[in-house]
A and B are shown apart, each in its own frame.
Chain A
């Protein structure tokens, strides 16, 4: 502030006194002159005449005297006044000066402020746009340029509609129209969200505040726009998060309830209400925990608890903070597991899981376990589990009994302890389930026949084998016995024919011997004839010997392994044995046998047994047939052929015995099934035949042919000849 020069106000700049004196003097002088001149110019007539003649002089004189008087009086006054004026003027000047100083200071302040404001405007993040009544942009700040992408010169003078998306421009124009016409009003402090349009056409969400001002008598509008894209995004994220939360909360498998620091519900989901069976009217935001607990008690929960004590306990736990878990039993044999987490002073959350199923499953599992254990304990067969490398994992009591090892002794050892030859391989080959014959080894070293059933299973991501082992010693024994018995039975079947077969050569021997003796007695025997006879006897005896040998081979139990043999021999042998019996029955055997045949694997005597059996059945069928074939001759067709492609040998026995019904056909292979009367035939035949052929890896088919039945035996030919 400039300092005003201060002057002594008592010293007027104008010497008023001197001036008033001067004026008085002047007036007197003037007065004198006038009087003088007047007297001079006129003769002293009456004063009246004088006055009327020289009225102007009189007037002048009067005036002059008045003036002089006034001056004399007034001049000091004037002087005083002028002094005052001077002082005042001085004051005014001083004030003016100070005013000017002030004004200039103000101007500088204003300028400073203007720069400041300008700077603020320029650096505002928000856009500030002023428009006139028609919407023309008058000012815009830097932010406007930045946000909307227009340089200032493209904004100023343009209608603010430029910044409004096309679809809203109509609305804007109407609004501006209304405002102009005084129909609409701007609410001071009002603001709204709206999408504005940048130069590049992108829509940006903004928060717009509009205010009105009068400037130079004109209505102006100020628009402040804030780019709220980030806020919008944040809002969107928050909303999405809230939706996600809501969705999750509602759709969780668990029931959940959240209480605030005053133990009042601030959130809960429907499952919470459902799980606990709470009346929906009692569950609402703001409901207190203690009321909820009382409601629970009312509907039958916490039956064994004193509810008030429980409420106190819960509140204490919540106050302490941390996690609590418990299980609640609901009416209707349902169970919930509850987990509560409390953050003291903030909130606590309880989640409820329906563990009814789990409990039931646990119970069921326990029962199932008990059952399975009982099965394992009491099974007659050895049941054990092995790991993929053959280590025995478990072993049941039957296993202990069969093998002679205790559980402790065997668990941990490998499977080949129990099955020395190829024990492991039977598991390795278990693609699906496998049943195989194997040799088991007891603790005392004895070997015995086993039937192994092996299967794979998964247990806790590891592959294990489950083996069921059956001691088939007795079975095998019985089977062997049965086989033997059936063989003997077959021998019995052949007995009649056999007896005759053997008797024939014997008869010849006897008679030949007799003849020799008779001739010798009669001295009729010449050496040549004798020799012939003796040779004959020898041959016949040999024949008998062969038959006996054959029978012995036949009657012996076959414990031995399969050998390759010529099936043709077996067929011929069988045919020979049955020959007499068949001829007696007037049955013609039509043989169709090749010269030679590929060998097969098995026992020749067993195949012979089969063919004999089939021939016998054919013979019986023909004899029992109610309508005998014309001419009274039955026919049996016996053939052997090889199927090169399939590498099989096929033996067919066809009879003219009238065929068999489907029901019988289904049952023919059943052991002890027979169509014969009691006492005739054991019924063992075909079932044993089937066993024999099956063990040779072949099969028997029964086919109805015109007038009778054909039995077709197929066996695989030996691979390498």
Chain B
């Protein structure tokens, strides 16, 4: 499947959160945090894998670092498309990417600057899942 195909997924998603980051240590912390909230997580280390896993897993939320090899976050957003219903949270440690993300008309749920404040992240994720923060 080429990166440029627009994927049309059927509506309906699982309650999984897909975490996409090339740094396993950072993924782990997010997993820990969400896990403590009882949220199911899956992981991918680059954009291409992320696209694949979105197709198969149909996560409700994707937390994605913008700067990634093979397919960066912003492009991945395009590919994943609007109609999937997956909510995308972009994260980045790079001011330029942050700027780009904020100014381009992307249909993303949120853009968070690294280092990720986990409490905020939790709130966003719960909201995206339709669960209110306790």
Q: Which residues of A contact B (CB under 8 A)?
A: 496, 499-500, 503-512, 514-515, 518-519, 522, 524, 536, 540, 583-586
- B119 near A508 with CB under 8 A, answer no
- A500 near B67 with CB under 8 A, answer yes
- B25 near A508 with CB under 8 A, answer yes
Interface SS of chain A: helix
With a cutoff of 8 Å between Cβ atoms, the chain A residues found around residue B33 in the complex are 511, 514-515, 518
12 CB < 8 A contacts A-B: A496-B94, A500-B93, A503-B93, A505-B25, A508-B23, A511-B33, A514-B29, A514-B117, A515-B29, A536-B25, A583-B22, A583-B69
| Distance of A499 from chain B, by nearest CB (Å) | 7
The residue from A499, A506, A518, A536 contacting B115, defined by CB atoms under 8 A apart: A506
- B68 near A510 with CB under 8 A, answer no
- Please indicate which of the listed interface residues B22, B29, B72 has the most CB atoms of chain A within 10 Å of its own CB: B29
Q: How far is the CA of A518 from the CA of B122 in the complex (A)?
A: 11
The residue from B36, B70, B115 contacting A515, defined by CB atoms under 8 A apart: B36
Q: How far is the CA of A509 from the CA of B25 in the complex (A)?
A: 10
With a cutoff of 8 Å between Cβ atoms, the chain A residues found around residue B102 in the complex are none
Q: Mark B74-117, 1 if CB is under 8 A from A, else 0.
A: 00000000000000000001100000000000000000001111
With a cutoff of 8 Å between Cβ atoms, the chain A residues found around residue B93 in the complex are 499-500, 503, 507
With a cutoff of 8 Å between Cβ atoms, the chain A residues found around residue B70 in the complex are 586
Q: How far is the CA of A522 from the CA of B72 in the complex (A)?
A: 36
With a cutoff of 8 Å between Cβ atoms, the chain A residues found around residue B116 in the complex are 507, 510-511
| Distance of A708 from chain B, by nearest CB (Å) | 20
With a cutoff of 8 Å between Cβ atoms, the chain B residues found around residue A500 in the complex are 67, 93-94
- B25 near A518 with CB under 8 A, answer no
B6 within 8 A of A: no
With a cutoff of 8 Å between Cβ atoms, the chain B residues found around residue A515 in the complex are 29, 32-33, 36, 118
- A504 near B118 with CB under 8 A, answer no
| Distance of A36 from chain B, by nearest CB (Å) | 221
Considering only CB atoms and an 8 Å cut-off, how many residues of chain B contact the other chain?
Answer: 23
B49 within 8 A of A: no
Q: Mark B25-60, 1 if CB is under 8 A from A, else 0.
A: 110011011001000000000000000000000000
The residue from A503, A536, A540, A583 contacting B114, defined by CB atoms under 8 A apart: A503
With a cutoff of 8 Å between Cβ atoms, the chain B residues found around residue A510 in the complex are 115-117
Q: How far is the CA of A430 from the CA of B122 in the complex (A)?
A: 77
Q: How far is the CA of A503 from the CA of B98 in the complex (A)?
A: 15
With a cutoff of 8 Å between Cβ atoms, the chain A residues found around residue B68 in the complex are 584
With a cutoff of 8 Å between Cβ atoms, the chain A residues found around residue B26 in the complex are 504, 507-508, 511
| Distance of B69 from chain A, by nearest CB (Å) | 4
| Distance of B111 from chain A, by nearest CB (Å) | 16
- Please indicate which of the listed interface residues A511, A519, A524 has the most CB atoms of chain B within 10 Å of its own CB: A511
| Distance of A512 from chain B, by nearest CB (Å) | 6
Q: Which residues of B contact A (CB under 8 A)?
A: 22-23, 25-26, 29-30, 32-33, 36, 67-70, 72, 93-94, 114-119, 122
| Distance of A531 from chain B, by nearest CB (Å) | 15
Q: How far is the CA of A518 from the CA of B36 in the complex (A)?
A: 9
Chain A residue nearest to B95 (CB atoms) is A499
- B29 near A508 with CB under 8 A, answer yes
Q: How far is the CA of A629 from the CA of B32 in the complex (A)?
A: 40
Q: How far is the CA of A421 from the CA of B115 in the complex (A)?
A: 57
Q: How far is the CA of A530 from the CA of B69 in the complex (A)?
A: 33
Chain B residue nearest to A587 (CB atoms) is B69
Q: Given A522-B36, A524-B36, A586-B70, do A511 and B30 touch, yes or no (CB 8 Å)?
A: yes
- A504 near B25 with CB under 8 A, answer yes
| Distance of B5 from chain A, by nearest CB (Å) | 16
Q: How far is the CA of A536 from the CA of B70 in the complex (A)?
A: 29
Q: How far is the CA of A583 from the CA of B72 in the complex (A)?
A: 11
Using A500-B93, A518-B119 as known contacts, list a sample of 8 further A-B pairs with CB atoms less than 8 Å apart, ordered by residue number in A: A496-B94, A499-B94, A504-B23, A504-B26, A515-B32, A515-B33, A536-B25, A586-B69
The residue from A496, A511, A586 contacting B29, defined by CB atoms under 8 A apart: A511
Q: How far is the CA of A512 from the CA of B29 in the complex (A)?
A: 6
- B118 near A518 with CB under 8 A, answer yes
Chain A residue nearest to B67 (CB atoms) is A584
| Distance of B65 from chain A, by nearest CB (Å) | 10
Q: How far is the CA of A505 from the CA of B72 in the complex (A)?
A: 21
Q: Given A511-B118, A518-B119, do A540 and B25 touch, yes or no (CB 8 Å)?
A: yes
With a cutoff of 8 Å between Cβ atoms, the chain A residues found around residue B118 in the complex are 511, 514-515, 518
Q: How far is the CA of A510 from the CA of B29 in the complex (A)?
A: 9
| Distance of B93 from chain A, by nearest CB (Å) | 4
Chain B residue nearest to A543 (CB atoms) is B25
With a cutoff of 8 Å between Cβ atoms, the chain B residues found around residue A508 in the complex are 23, 25-26, 29
Q: How far is the CA of A584 from the CA of B22 in the complex (A)?
A: 10
Q: How far is the CA of A580 from the CA of B124 in the complex (A)?
A: 28
With a cutoff of 8 Å between Cβ atoms, the chain B residues found around residue A499 in the complex are 93-94
- B36 near A511 with CB under 8 A, answer no
Q: How far is the CA of A510 from the CA of B91 in the complex (A)?
A: 15
| Distance of B30 from chain A, by nearest CB (Å) | 7
* A-B interface, 6 closest residue pairs, ranked by CB to CB distance from nearest: A511-B29, A510-B115, A514-B118, A583-B69, A507-B115, A503-B93
Q: How far is the CA of A507 from the CA of B113 in the complex (A)?
A: 10
Chain B residue nearest to A504 (CB atoms) is B23
Q: How far is the CA of A518 from the CA of B34 in the complex (A)?
A: 11
| Distance of B106 from chain A, by nearest CB (Å) | 19
Q: How far is the CA of A504 from the CA of B69 in the complex (A)?
A: 15
With a cutoff of 8 Å between Cβ atoms, the chain A residues found around residue B115 in the complex are 503, 506-507, 509-511
With a cutoff of 8 Å between Cβ atoms, the chain B residues found around residue A518 in the complex are 33, 36, 118-119, 122
With a cutoff of 8 Å between Cβ atoms, the chain B residues found around residue A496 in the complex are 94
| Distance of A587 from chain B, by nearest CB (Å) | 9
| Distance of B12 from chain A, by nearest CB (Å) | 31
| Distance of A577 from chain B, by nearest CB (Å) | 16
Q: Given A504-B25, A518-B33, do A584 and B69 touch, yes or no (CB 8 Å)?
A: yes
Q: How far is the CA of A94 from the CA of B93 in the complex (A)?
A: 182
| Distance of A201 from chain B, by nearest CB (Å) | 118
With a cutoff of 8 Å between Cβ atoms, the chain B residues found around residue A522 in the complex are 36
With a cutoff of 8 Å between Cβ atoms, the chain B residues found around residue A586 in the complex are 69-70
- Please indicate which of the listed interface residues A496, A508, A586 has the most CB atoms of chain B within 10 Å of its own CB: A508
With a cutoff of 8 Å between Cβ atoms, the chain B residues found around residue A519 in the complex are 36
- Please indicate which of the listed interface residues A500, A503, A514, A583 has the most CB atoms of chain B within 10 Å of its own CB: A514
With a cutoff of 8 Å between Cβ atoms, the chain B residues found around residue A585 in the complex are 69
Chain B residue nearest to A511 (CB atoms) is B29
Q: How far is the CA of A506 from the CA of B116 in the complex (A)?
A: 10
Chain B residue nearest to A502 (CB atoms) is B93
Q: How far is the CA of A583 from the CA of B93 in the complex (A)?
A: 16
Q: How far is the CA of A515 from the CA of B122 in the complex (A)?
A: 11
| Distance of B67 from chain A, by nearest CB (Å) | 6
Q: How far is the CA of A282 from the CA of B119 in the complex (A)?
A: 128
Q: How far is the CA of A505 from the CA of B22 in the complex (A)?
A: 13
| Distance of B96 from chain A, by nearest CB (Å) | 9
Q: How far is the CA of A514 from the CA of B72 in the complex (A)?
A: 27
